[in-house]
Amino acid sequence: MPPTISRLIQALEPSATLAMAAKARELKASGRTIYDFSVGEPDFNTPAHICEAAIAAMREGHTHYTASSGVIELRTAIANRYRQVHGLEYSPLQVIVSNGAKHSLHNAFTVLCDPGDEVIIPAPYWVSYAELVKLASGKPVIVPTSEAEDFKLTPARFKAAITPKTKVLLLCSPSNPTGSMYSKDELAALADIVIEHNLTVISDEIYERLVYGNHKFTSFATVRPGLVDRVITINGVSKAYAMTGWRIGWSLAPPNIAKAMDSLQSQETTNASSVSQYAALAAIEGPQNCVDEMLVEFAKRREYVQKRIASLPKLSTCEMGGAFYAFINIQAHLGRTYNGAAVNNSAEWCLQLLSQQGVATVQGSAFGAEGYIRMSFATSMANIQHGFDKIEAFLNSPA
């Protein structure tokens, strides 16, 4: 008999975004033209000065083990940035550099959760959140939000979800998958409940630099005095600097939590890539015009996406204050056939859109919101234009 797989892993849901991206690649390999809006990855190259810093690091011999929590230069730079930008005081010892923000989230859940501890997650949510909580023996408590509320957790819904087993609130602003953002006042209202019930917050702020129009980013730990003692902030270089493949993320946490994450990481991965750490250092301390230039392009795409969604029948989306996603309401287009194919839910809709029109999106059910799809506009304007033409054709398909 072959070895059996643990019940924990058997129950694990695979990443829907990566699964859809794999199907898109498979169709591309067969020779089809595919417009891929499935993966949240900037289409820009990593800026040259960051790549050059990595080359210099290799030439200077920075190719060995580092401290498990990361090189001190990078941890100091991260702490300095939070002091300068957000007015938050962190020691470099409170900064843990990991193999991407997803790894940082895994570290945080693992050191916080005992079996049965509840983690409140507003839906729609990023596909990996609930699975990471389960891997840490915690229990994800999914709290639905509505498009009318821009998919933001209200104080009333938050309070109603709290039980004696609640330990953590997880927030993401700007949001993946919706692009919605919490204002400072909205975060403060949630923070008051956090303090009242002695909860910990994990604040995923990976899209902090990608904010549009009059929207203003607020780091959760800043909205009430003393929150730095109960907030774990997650961030990284993947989205703002087009460095997804470099795999560098970080957490800023209370000292005891940071020490525990350091111990965990020392057993799991030893350290994040030494060369990538020096590249991340160049990203943080180097010129920032590269971020501004990418943001200008993302803003143009966002405006176009909003206009195209509004122009199509019975589609809608919430206000996209940040990130690079549109979370599109397709409920009016379910329960019908498209060229003879019956479509009753968002997964079937996405599969038929890909099969019939060559457009890859991700079903809303993977994010905890049936009746929606997520579309990443982190791709060229030409791809977006052609993709929407294909979506329009799909909507107009005969039964």
CB 284 within 8 A of CB 75: no
pLDDT of residue 16: 78
pLDDT of residue 324: 98
pLDDT of residue 22: 84
Inform me whether the pLDDT recorded for 40 exceeds 90. no
Strand partners, 120: 141, 169
pLDDT of residue 182: 98
Tell me what the pLDDT averaged over the chain comes to. Answer: 96
The model's pTM:
0.95
Tokens of 382: 């030409």
Q: Using pLDDT thresholds of 50, 70 and 90, give the confidence band for residue 26.
A: confident
CATH numbers and ranges of domains, the chain:
7-45+290-394 (3.90.1150.10), 48-285 (3.40.640.10)
pLDDT of residue 9: 87
Q: Using pLDDT thresholds of 50, 70 and 90, give the confidence band for residue 39.
A: confident
Q: Using pLDDT thresholds of 50, 70 and 90, give the confidence band for residue 27.
A: confident
What pairing do the DSSP bridges indicate for beta strands 231-236 and 95-98?
unpaired
Q: What is the pLDDT of residues 271-297, one digit of tens each?
A: 999 999 999 999 999 999 999 999 999
What sign has the CA pseudo-torsion 106, 107, 108, 114?
A: positive
Q: What is the pLDDT of residues 130-151, one digit of tens each?
A: 999 999 999 999 999 999 999 9
Give the least confident one: 22-26, 152-156, 225-229. Answer: 22-26
Residue 386: partners with Cβ closer than 8 Å, 6 or more residues away? 35
Inform me whether the pLDDT recorded for 28 exceeds 90. no
C-alpha distances in Å from residue 228, one per residue of 21, 102, 119, 188: 37, 21, 19, 14
DSSP for 324-386, please give it: TEEEEE-GGG-SEEETTEEE-SHHHHHHHHHHHH-EE-EEGGGGT-TTEEEEE--S-HHHHHH
pLDDT of residue 297: 98
- For 10-26, what is the mean pLDDT? 83
Inform me whether the pLDDT recorded for 341 exceeds 90. yes
Inform me whether the pLDDT recorded for 173 exceeds 90. yes
What pairing do the DSSP bridges indicate for beta strands 362-363 and 95-98?
unpaired
pLDDT of residue 163: 98
Inform me whether the pLDDT recorded for 11 exceeds 90. no
Q: Using pLDDT thresholds of 50, 70 and 90, give the confidence band for residue 15.
A: confident
pLDDT of residue 331: 98
Q: What is the pLDDT of residues 101-139, one digit of tens each?
A: 999 999 999 999 999 999 999 999 999 999 999 999 999
3-state secondary structure of 252: strand
- For 221-232, what is the mean pLDDT? 97
pLDDT of residue 17: 78
Q: What is the radius of gyration, based on Cα positions, of the chain?
A: 21
3-state secondary structure of 250: strand
Whole-angstrom Cα distance, residue 282 to residue 57?
Answer: 11
Whole-angstrom Cα distance, residue 354 to residue 20?
Answer: 9
Q: Using pLDDT thresholds of 50, 70 and 90, give the confidence band for residue 24.
A: confident
CA nearest neighbour of 297 among 382, 234, 191: 382
CB 320 within 8 A of CB 212: yes
Q: Which residue has the tokens 């294909």?
A: 390
Amino acid, single-letter form, for residue 102: K
Inform me whether the pLDDT recorded for 18 exceeds 90. no
- More confident: 7 or 197: 197
Inform me whether the pLDDT recorded for 334 exceeds 90. yes
Length of the chain in terms of residues written: 399
Whole-angstrom Cα distance, residue 387 to residue 236?
Answer: 30
